Amino acid sequence: MKSKSLSMSTNFNNDSAAAPNGATRNSASIALLPRPMRLTAELASRVTPCLPEPGSIPAQVRPTEADYTAMAAALLADRPPSGEVWVFAYGSLLWKPAFAIAEQRAAVARGWHRSFCLGWDYRYRGAPNCPGLMLALDRGGACRGIVQRLPSHSIKDGLLQLLHREVVMHPSPFPPRWIKVETANGPIRAITFAMDPNSGFYVSGLSDERIADVLASAVGHWGSMAEYLHKTVAQLERLGIADRFLWRMQKLVAERIEARFPSAAAQPLLPRQADAA
């Protein structure tokens, strides 16, 4: 069963702003037929053993409130003349927005692609014995996603909420930055989180099979990488956005989970405070 494609002409408007879960008034009018995924929620749940909270982040690593305020000020100082602030969502922001959304549109970021290149994660969706790789934007190619506009009356507050969620260490290995994206209404500038190739957390050169091995086993106190992958691909399918790399990853990860955890018995997920982008 083929899925319908979400054209770039699709706009989601809600003048009173959407709820933080991303729901909008008119999004239900778009008929999409998601493809059946090999990686199901049940399969992802098989790799979620309960893990203890790893403890607080050291003060020298976690950004201070002054750091967040300075980041927000620097971003807002470079905003477009329209005054609008858009955020390009490509990962967990698609299925778990960080702020109330006033409007969203389909968008393409050229010169960037999705990549599991942020590692190694020993805390959030990984642990010392099963480190994880997080999704980020890396240079090259093109990435289809969604741009989300912050409500005009709460731009600063919404931006700070976003930064608190996505920037968990200082300096950040994938800092916020402005990029140009294409929409049916024309090009716009949007904030996104892109990998710093000079960071010590930049991981490259891994084969798809090696990445799948990691995603099929990594789990931390936010949950598993399999769960993250499932939710991201499922939301892309609902939006009619095809990402060949992630579609291949979900198939490879499902095969590995089926081989490693043949029974459906799973332990419950721990409550999570946030999700990386």
Structure confidence at residue 66 (pLDDT): 97
Helical pair 244-260 and 225-239, crossing angle rounded to 10 deg: 140
CA 248 vs CA 15, 157, 167: distances in Å = 37, 37, 28
Tell the residue number behind the tokens 């499902």, with chain if given. Answer: 254
169 contacts: CB under 8 Å, gap ≥ 6: 57, 61, 62, 63
Mean pLDDT value of segment 35-57: 81
Mean pLDDT value of segment 185-210: 97
CA 5 vs CA 95, 201, 246, 247, 250: distances in Å = 18, 34, 16, 15, 20
Tell me the percentage of the chain whose pLDDT exceeds 90: 70
Tell me the percentage of the chain whose pLDDT exceeds 70: 79
Peptide bond into 247 cis (omega under 30): no
Q: pLDDT tens digits for 35-45?
A: 999 999 999 99
Q: pLDDT tens digits for 83-102?
A: 999 999 999 999 999 999 99
Domains plus CATH for the chain? Answer: 41-260 (3.10.490.10)
Distance CA 120, CA 122 (A): 6
Burial 47-62 (b: 16+ CB within 10 A, else e): bbeebeeeeeeeeeee
Structure confidence at residue 14 (pLDDT): 41
